[in-house]
Structures are given as C-alpha cells and as structure tokens.
Amino acid sequence: MKSKVLIFVVFILLDIVFSPLRAIQAFVWSEILSFVVFFVATVWLISKFNNKVPAKQSFLIAFLAVFLFNFVFSVFTFPNTIGSIFNVVLRLLGIVAGYGFVCMFDSRRKVIYTIVCFVVAFLVSFFGNKLLHEPIQNVIMENIAKRDNEQPTLSFETTSHSFGKIDKNTTDNVSFDFKFANVNGLPLVIEKVDVSCDCLTATYPDTVDRGMAGVIRITIDPKKVEGRFEKSIFVKSNALQDVVLLKVDGEVE
C-alpha cells in the first residue's frame, strides 16, 4: 500500500514541478519535453516497484494521479488553454508509452517502440497545435483587439496642475478643471474619483459619449492645508486604462 501511495505522490509532485512548461510559448518542444519526462519516470518507477506493485497497477496509479491533479488544477485554479491541454495529453501519453516499454522484453522491439512513440508524440503535438492552438489563438487575439477598439479611451489635456501660491486669509476655495475627452469606443463611465486629502473635492460627469468632452473639477480648501502641498487624484473608469492619476500642487501662505 505504501508503494502505491508513493507512486501516486511522486507523479503529482512531478506534475507540479513541470507545471511551468504549460506557459512556454514554444508549445511543441515543451510538450515533447513533458512526454520524455513522464515516459522516463514511468519506466523507472515501474521497474523500481516491480516486486511490490504489478506493472499494470503502477501504470494506472500514475495515469490517475496526473489526470486527477490536472483536473483539479484546471477547475480550481487557472483556466485551461489549448497549449496546456496538449501538454497534459502528452504527459499522459508519456505514461502510456512508458508502460508499453516496460511490458516489452525484446531489446530490438523496445528501440523500435520508443522511436515510434516519440514520432507519434511529436505528430500529436505538432499537428494538434497547428490545427487547434494557432487558429484559436488567432481568434483570441482578434477578439482582444476588437475589445480594445470598443473600450472607451480617456484622454486628458493635462494630468497635473499647479495652483501656485494661495493666500488662505483672502482666498476662498480654488478650483481647476481637468479637461478630457472620450476619443474612442463605447460611452465612458466614470465610476469614481478618489482624492488623497479631505482638502480636495471632485465633481465629474457620470458618463461621456464617444467623441464628447468633459471636465473633472478639483477644488481645494486652503483652510485645510498648511504650506507646500502635492496631492493626488485617482480617476477610475471603464476606459482601456482603468485608473488615471492626476496631480495638483501649490503653496498655502
């Protein structure tokens, strides 16, 4: 029983160690490497535990470990991409091929079998990516480009302003209008404008249609500031750049 658990754990750990291969853009080579690693691991572990666990059981345990781990990985963590799915398929093929290799006793057949397995793995990876990954990836990129074109673009004339010197004894609240335009895409929705000091207040429109302009008026209360100041305003919207930083500075005398 301990040997079976050990085989199960070893293959899960092996899958975790080689999980970064999912993110490699050279999918064919990363998948072939996965195939080789799991092929060799299967041959070695079945041979090592042959006296304690039958080869068929070792194979089934290894296959189940990798399959279940990747099922949990895809459901509860990151969504699968076509590349990562093929990487898992090649890992499972490596386990199957390793089991077949162990079951053969003729050296010449083992060599031929190994060569055939590697060729099949390469063809599955190469044509699988050619037929599925690349076309789907192109569609994804087109959709991203289309989405970016549809998203509003928040463009400010300036993102900073200096109030200069302000005499708090003779000056009431001072305001500045940050002018902007929605130069592209759908209607711009300004979700909120946060200020870094209670000495500032912001007024702004909720929505701005495509091609239209608007202003965000920042007002400072000199009575709540002492000396030189530099404050930040964070504009959050549904624009392509979802948060824009504005700055104001000056000196209260």
Domain extents in the chain: 2-150, 154-252
CB 173 within 8 Å of CB 167: no
The predicted pLDDT at position 79 comes to 47
Per-residue pLDDT of the chain (253 residues; tens, 9 = 90+): 777 888 788 787 877 777 666 555 545 667 777 788 888 888 888 888 877 778 888 888 888 888 887 777 665 554 445 446 767 778 888 888 888 888 887 888 888 888 888 888 777 777 766 666 556 566 666 666 565 567 788 899 999 999 999 888 877 899 999 999 988 778 889 999 999 988 999 999 999 988 899 999 999 999 888 899 999 999 999 888 889 999 999 999 8
Q: How far is CA 115 from CA 36, 57, 169, in A?
A: 12, 25, 89
Considering only CA atoms, which of 209, 242, 240 is closest in space to residue 147?
240
Both tokens of residue 168?
């708090």
Our CA angle for 83, 88, 92, nearest 5°, is 145
The predicted pLDDT at position 112 comes to 85
φ and ψ of 235, to 5 deg: -100, 115
Is domain 154-252 annotated with CATH 2.60.40.10?
yes
Both tokens of residue 45?
């572990």
The predicted pLDDT at position 138 comes to 65
φ and ψ of 192, to 5 deg: -165, 160
Give the up-direction half-sphere exposure of residue 187: CA atoms within 13 A in the CB hemisphere: 8
Q: What is the pTM of this model?
A: 0.46
Q: End-to-end CA distance of the chain: give it in Å, rounded.
A: 81
Both tokens of residue 203?
């007024």
